[in-house]
Amino acid sequence: MKPIEAQVEQSYYVRVAVIGVITVGIGAILMLLGQRSWAKTFDGTGVTRRDGQQFQWPGLKNIRYVHVRGVLNHVELVFNDGKVMIFPLMLKNGGEVMSFISRLPGGKPVR
């Protein structure tokens, strides 16, 4: 299987900069630190987060779809030893990533 890299939209970094200006940098720092738990690459063996931590598919316990006001906000891949966050609306290739997730055990079909 060919690895998939989750590609963050440039507009996300514009948002980080705006929040950084409004909050005198603190908001931007918090947003960038939170991004460390985001998915970076998916392959046949597992997923790697942006902080470099790797999780193997056999350790996947649950897939949580978190909705805000009826709209999918993010997906949490819950493993035995941690979780990986996916924010499909912040990704250039969110459709490709969500299609991959839908094929995992416990994944929901893409609509």
- Domain 4-102 is found in CATH 2.60.40: no
Q: Tens digits of per-residue pLDDT, 34-72?
A: 999 999 999 999 999 999 999 999 999 999 999 999 999
Listed by start position, the domains of the chain span 4-102
Amino acid identity at 41: T
Q: For the whole model, what pTM was predicted?
A: 0.90
- Cα 54–chain centre separation: 13
What is the rounded average pLDDT for all residues in the chain?
95
Place 109 in a pLDDT band, splitting at 50, 70 and 90: confident
Query: What is the CB neighbour count within 10 angstroms for residue 16?
Result: 17
Q: Give the residue carrying structure tokens 């990704």.
A: 91
Distance CA 10, CA 26 (A): 20
Q: Tens digits of per-residue pLDDT, 63-100?
A: 999 999 999 999 999 999 999 999 999 999 999 999 99
